[in-house]
């Protein structure tokens, strides 16, 4: 199976977040979220921390914010609700990781229809995203 863009919709490529990455290397994730509340990557990492503690509802809430911040970022970059969001473009990974974190947390709280919807969203964005994230998911 190929990852062909049959709709002809251009890829959405988000801008880099060098300040977020620098802060993540030096500060606790919660501090990075406060400093960069629009970063879906920071929210996804905060959701991961909550999930690692078994705090499924907290993880769900953090991932939900990351998901919405990610949708805002995608729309700002020209995305219109469909089309590729390639995992290979590193700045896109925060949005994709937020989608995955929300899917994971939704599964933990029994939100089955959301799990299916988010799985489809991830596959439609980039079929490589889900296996790449799952291979590094510590939960």
In this prediction the pTM is 0.92
What residue ranges do the domains of the chain occupy?
18-134
The pLDDT assigned to 1 comes to 36
How confident is residue 4, by pLDDT bands cut at 50, 70 and 90? low
Q: What pLDDT sits at residue 130?
A: 95
Query: Which of residues 137 and 63 earns the better pLDDT score?
Result: 63
Output the pLDDT for position 2: 42
Burial 52-83 (b: 16+ CB within 10 A, else e): eeebbebbbbbbbbbbebbbebbeebebeeeb
What pLDDT does residue 53 have?
97
Which pLDDT tens digit goes with each residue over 52-99?
A: 999 999 999 999 999 999 999 999 999 999 999 999 999 999 999 999
- pLDDT reading at 138 higher than 90: no
What is the DSSP track for 75-123?
Answer: HHTT--S-S---TTSGGGHHHHHHHHHHHHHHHHTT-HHHHHHHHHHHH
Q: What does the pLDDT average to over 22-33? A: 98
Instruction: List the structure tokens of 34.
Output: 């406060």
- Cα–Cα–Cα angle for 91, 72, 136, nearest 5°? 40
CB-CB contact of 62 with 95 (8 Å): no
Q: Which two tokens stand for residue 49?
A: 């921390």
What is the DSSP track for 42-56? HHHHHHHHHHHTT-H
- In this predicted structure, the answer to whether residue 5 has a pLDDT above a threshold of 70 is no
């Amino acid at each position: 199976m190929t990852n062909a863009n049959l709709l002809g919709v251009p890829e959405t490529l988000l801008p880099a977040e060098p300040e977020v990455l620098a802060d993540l290397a030096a500060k606790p994730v919660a501090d990075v979220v406060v400093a960069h509340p629009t970063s879906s990557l920071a929210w996804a990492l905060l959701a991961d921390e909550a999930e690692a503690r078994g705090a499924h509802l907290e993880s769900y809430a953090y991932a939900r914010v990351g998901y919405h911040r990610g949708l805002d970022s995608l729309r700002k970059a020209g995305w219109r609700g469909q089309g590729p969001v390639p995992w290979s473009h590193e700045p896109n990974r925060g949005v994709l990781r937020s989608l995955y974190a929300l899917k994971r947390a939704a599964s933990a709280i029994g939100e089955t229809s959301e799990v299916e919807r988010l799985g489809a969203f991830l596959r439609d964005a980039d079929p490589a995203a889900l296996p790449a994230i799952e291979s590094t998911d510590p939960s």
